[in-house]
Amino acid sequence: MSYLFTSESVSEGHPDKVADQISDALIDNFLAFDINSKVACETLVTTGQVVLAGEVKSNTYLDVQQIARDTINKIGYTKGEYMFDGNSCGVFSAIHEQSDDINRGVDRATKEEQGAGDQGMMFGYATNETENYMPLALDLSHRILKELAELRRENKDITYLRPDSKSQVTIEYSDDNVPQRIDAIVVSTQHDDFADDTTMLAKIREDIKTILIPRVIAKLPAAIQALFNDDIKYHINPTGKFVIGGPHGDTGLTGRKIIVDTYGGKGAHGGGAFSGKDPSKVDRSAAYATRHIAKNLVAAGIADEVLVQVSYAIGVVEPMGIFIDTYGTAKVNLTDGEIAAKVSEIFDMRPFAIEERLKLRSPMYSETAAYGHMGRTNETVTKTFSQPNGENVTLNVELFTWEKLDYTDKIKQAFKI
């Protein structure tokens, strides 16, 4: 019997994502001037206010208030009528020095013996149902909101959009886990106030269906386009009005959208957030490493679907273990435990080795903080950072290194396929 599966996404203007983006902008700026910075930054945003808190060990000094303001303005909160804008909001910093009790478990005489920055378990997942090896419902949810943000910035075809929005996609799957059709799409978008609520809602519904969705479909592969149909149930701004939004409508906190950040409920999640943490925190680095493993395993043809788990103890260099689940889709004559053993031989999962393999001590994190950390495009960009003393640094930064399919040949060789 077929079944339905749903995933959601939230936009860069969602209050929790505003918080994530500020925290990751701080990470990038610290790493740009001191690659050895140890940072754990949390952000709270609410009506007219930003609160920064956390622990830092770094040799650089930053104007954290200005970084927060610049991030907010870039997202699009630039008008006083939003009751939250980058130029006028209050920014309070309670960032202090990192505890020596934590740092002593991480730093070692040699970098290779660097201990894990925290305990816990991390998961990576990949499936061949999309070209980027991501679950389809989440991938479509992200695409809808990225396109909506493009329309907002163009301010031509749709001129009333505000930064906060959410999407949700429900996919019907066959018994053998193949997407059959799109069952439902939910889009809630913040908007300017209209003179008449009935007219407003009708226009928003029409614009989403006739402008946004066709633009999304046009950028999809033909096989995914075929899943769209005239019977899709649309729920567009189902409450009827969404003028009050962003941090004025809902307080935002770093790390509250961890399922949006990963796989939309597919696979598993260890519970640790990513944003605001430097790569010594395995919550972040090992989650990227397990995604890298899972994606390369599926791309190499080991299985159609793979979940990878790794776990650590704080201050201990070697992981507690690696677990693999292929959900019965393995294409090799090996048990999941035997696959895990081979994976342990191919991938060095010590924290420093992960940092080196994925180039994680570079200022690559602002781009991860909205529209998902996984399934993104690996590319190199040029970024410029500034200090309060006027010093600038311009760097070429490789983004989303964990999305590279650079281990498929090694995997095929190890598995003799």
Has 242 been labeled as part of a binding site? yes
- Is 57 annotated in some ligand binding site? no
399 and 300, same structural domain?
Answer: yes
- Tell me, yes or no, whether 191 lies in a domain: yes
- 345 contact partners, CB below 8 Å, separation of at least 6: 414
Pairing of strands 179-191, 233-236: parallel
* 250 in a labelled binding site: yes
80: Cβ–Cβ under 8 A, 6 or more apart, which residues?
88
pLDDT in tens, 169-193: 999 999 999 999 999 999 999 999 9
Burial of 90 (0-12, 13-18, 19+ CB in 10 A): exposed
Residue 281 labeled ligand binder: yes
Q: Is 273 annotated as a binding residue?
A: yes
* In-domain check, residue 359: yes
Question: What pLDDT is stored for residue 91 in this prediction?
Answer: 98
**66 annotated ligand binder:** no
Query: Is residue 206 marked as binding?
Result: no
Say if residue 291 is in the same domain as residue 226.
Answer: no
Question: Is 53 within the bounds of a domain?
Answer: no
Verify that 240 and 285 share a domain, yes or no: no
Ligand-binding site membership of 14 (annotated): yes
CA atoms of 311 and 345, how far apart (whole Å): 16
Residues 304 and 391 in one domain: yes
Query: Is residue 296 located within the same domain as residue 236?
Result: no
Phi first, then psi: give them for residue 362, nearest 5 degrees.
-125, 160
Identify whether 30 is part of a domain.
Answer: no
pTM: 0.95
Domain boundary among 220, 244, 268: 244
Core vs surface per residue 319-351: b (16+ CB within 10 A) or e: beebbbbbeebbebebebeebbebbeeebebbb
Distance from C-alpha of 225 to C-alpha of 210, rounded to nearest angstrom: 15
State the DSSP code for 95.
E
Asked if residue 363 and residue 301 are part of one domain, the reply reads yes
Is 23 part of any domain?
no
Is residue 277 a known part of a binding site?
yes
Tell me which residue range forms the domain holding 179: 3-9+136-244
346 and 301 part of one domain: yes
Q: What is the pLDDT of residue 119?
A: 87
142 is in an annotated binding site: no
Other CB atoms within 10 Å distance of the CB of residue 150: 12
Q: Report DSSP state, residue 252.
A: E
Element (H, E) at 90: strand 90-97
DSSP 33-51: H-TT-EEEEEEEEETTEEE
Query: In which residue are the tokens 């077929």 written?
Result: 2
Half-sphere exposure (CA, 13 Å, Cβ side) for 289? 32
Q: Is residue 152 part of a domain?
A: yes
DSSP assignments along 180-247, one per residue: EEEEEEEEEEEE---S-HHHHHHHHHHHIIIIIHHHHHHTS-HHHHTT--TTPEEEESTTS---S-HH
User: Both 313 and 362 in a single domain?
Assistant: yes
Q: 234 and 289 in one domain?
A: no
- Given a cut of 70, the residues of the chain with pLDDT beneath it are 99-112
Q: What CATH number corresponds to the domain at position 326?
A: 3.30.300.10
Say if CB 2 and CB 174 are below 8 A apart: yes
Does residue 165 have a known ligand-binding role? yes
Q: Is 230 annotated as a binding residue?
A: no
pLDDT at 398: 98
